[in-house]
Structure 1
Amino acid sequence: MLDLLASPWALVALFVLFAYTTEAMTGFGSIVIALSLSALVLPLDVLMPVLVPLNLVLSGYLTLRYHRLVDWRLLLTGILPMMAAGTLAGFLARPWLDQGVARPLFGALVVAFSVRELWRLRHAIAVAAHGPWWGRLWMLMAGLTHGLFASGGPLLVYALSGIRLDKGRFRATLVLVWFSLNSLLTLGFLINGDLRAQGDHLLALVPVVLVGIVLGETLHHRVDERRFRQVLFTVLLLAGVALLVR
């Protein structure tokens, strides 16, 4: 716990609070936000075995509470098969991805996603639905980025563009996706020893996630989502640029 109070883990704790409050509100974003910001102070390979298991606390809680809202047909016949295949491929490729390449590659992904979302929000652009095969390809790519960086959310949200789900069903379906895939990644980190090496930091950050759940559940019904998303993607854009230029 004392280590958490000293830099850089104190900053990571603040980023985790912001990130997990966001996912409790919207259904996605916890790892990509926490990883984008925390990668400014710690390496990706140190952060992922901490942030991925942490997500199980949030996604597990939200899944239990809102499982009746899950779109099971979309989940089981569309999202999970493609994303699970991509996640496995990405996880197996991680040992061959040099950290000097991984950081700017992840930064570029964050920048591209943030610019796209800010442009869409600014101009109120309605997103058309993808064709079935094109959507599945993007789901596979989302799984690949999830296996590499535990951050498949941006591409999955793009893959689901145009699919009409209300805010509650969309959030419930996404959090079950993350619970399923992050359970597999956590098992992988446990097998290769990365999880045990970061166990102290993981346990110390669990209370931060619990606070984020309470805040996110409260804000989910009170905050203007469009304005919040503008602030969120601006922060992500700055973090992505910092990852690229550092």
Structure 2
Amino acid sequence: MIDPWLWLGFAILLAFTIETITGFGSIVIALALGALMLPIPQLLPVLVPLSVIMSGYLTWQNRHHIDWHRLSRLILPLMLTGTITGYLLMPWLGDSGLEILLGCLIVWFAAKELRRMFGGHDARPHGIKTSRGIIFIAGVTQGLFASGGPLLVYALAGIRLDKSRIRATLVTVWLTLNVTLTVLFLLDGRLIANADKIAWYLPMLVIGVMVGDFLHHRLDEELFRRAVYGVLLVTGILLVLRAIL
């Protein structure tokens, strides 16, 4: 048997390597793989502070491209409210409920992206009320799994922003929400209890970024993304089946 925390170290290394190559997914990938062997509530106080380091660096690097108007008027108020709601809901769902919800979210996200990549479907814009509702639900999934990205990107479908502005705005969202979650974990005692694990896994983040940066221009990114989504799809199905069975 593989030690669960050793497995998580591998998941973190892989997740941050993939994020450096593709620009997405460190928490989603690390959480999906880690949840195969450890309960989600044990993973989040380790993964979220590590993500703060990554998103803080990216936010500073891209600070001149942030869409502050859209961030402050539309995204952050709803995402913050949803995040706190998700955090409060977590104890009520239990480990199995969290696994099923996370698995379903991952399966939906991976299947949607694979369909888009193979079928060439363009994102359709939503009405403002629909967008607001989805953004709030994205906040709830952020509070539950620190993985609000898939739903937030879906909520913003069709909004005309150049790639630099949307990327800078999104990493600022993750920085703000993950700092919020880190403070909540500090207050409930889970951050201090996992401080040693965070310190041990920090080199995995650094190595992942270095490996990802090396591979970024040496891989076919489209093919690599398809492989990642395929792995996520299978992982999501396994999480749901394990929780049900």
Q: Which residue pairs with 1:29 in the alignment?
A: 25
Q: Distance in 2 between matches of 1:214 and 1:61?
A: 14
Aligned-CA RMSD value: 1.7
Q: Distance in 1 between matches of 2:217 and 2:166?
A: 15
Q: Distance in 2 between matches of 1:71 and 1:215?
A: 30
Q: Distance in 2 between matches of 1:216 and 1:90?
A: 31
Q: Which residue pairs with 2:150 in the alignment?
A: 154
Q: Which residue pairs with 1:214 in the alignment?
A: 210
Q: SS in structure 2 opposite 1:162?
A: coil
* 1:5-20 matched pairs, under 5 angstroms: 7-20=3-16
Which AA in structure 1 matches 2:49?
P
Distance change (3 Å), C-alpha of 1:207 and 1:242: same
Q: Distance in 2 between matches of 1:91 and 1:51?
A: 15
Distance change (3 Å), C-alpha of 1:80 and 1:218: farther
Q: Deviations over 1:38-80 (max 9, x none)?
A: 1011111110110011101100111111111222222122211
Match among 52, 75, 78 for residue 74 of structure 2: 78
Measure how far apart 1:27 and its partner are.
4.0
Q: SS in structure 1 opposite 2:126?
A: coil
Q: Distance in 2 between matches of 1:171 and 1:228?
A: 20
Q: Distance in 2 between matches of 1:28 and 1:81?
A: 23
Q: Which residue pairs with 1:56 in the alignment?
A: 52
Runs of 5+ consecutive residues of structure 2 not aligned to the other structure: none
Measure how far apart 1:156 and its partner are.
0.8
Measure how far apart 1:219 and its partner are.
4.8
Q: Is the contact between residue 22 and residue 216 of structure 1 (CA under 8 Å) also seen in structure 2?
A: yes
Q: Is the contact between residue 35 and residue 239 of structure 2 (CA under 8 Å) also seen in structure 1?
A: yes
After TM superposition, the runs of 4+ consecutive aligned structure 1 residues lying more than 4 A away are 217-224
Measure how far apart 1:223 and its partner are.
4.5
Q: Distance in 2 between matches of 1:154 and 1:17?
A: 21
* 1:113-192 matched pairs, under 5 angstroms: 113-192=109-188
Q: Is the contact between residue 142 and residue 156 of structure 1 (CA under 8 Å) also seen in structure 2?
A: yes
Q: Which residue pairs with 1:68 in the alignment?
A: 64
Measure how far apart 1:150 and its partner are.
1.0
Q: Which residue pairs with 1:3 in the alignment?
A: none
% same residue = 48
Q: Deviations over 1:187-210 (max 9, x none)?
A: 000100111121111111111111
Q: Distance in 2 between matches of 1:86 and 1:158?
A: 16
Q: Distance in 2 between matches of 1:13 and 1:183?
A: 22
TM-score by length of 1: 0.91
Q: Is the contact between residue 27 and residue 175 of structure 1 (CA under 8 Å) also seen in structure 2?
A: no
Measure how far apart 1:235 and its partner are.
1.0
Q: Distance in 1 between matches of 2:67 and 2:217?
A: 21
Q: Distance in 1 between matches of 2:203 and 2:131?
A: 37
Greater CA drift, 135-144 or 161-170:
161-170
Q: Is the contact between residue 28 and residue 171 of structure 1 (CA under 8 Å) also seen in structure 2?
A: no
Greater CA drift, 22-31 or 234-243:
22-31
Q: Is the contact between residue 24 and residue 58 of structure 1 (CA under 8 Å) also seen in structure 2?
A: no
Q: Is the contact between residue 87 and residue 146 of structure 1 (CA under 8 Å) also seen in structure 2?
A: yes
Measure how far apart 1:224 and its partner are.
4.2
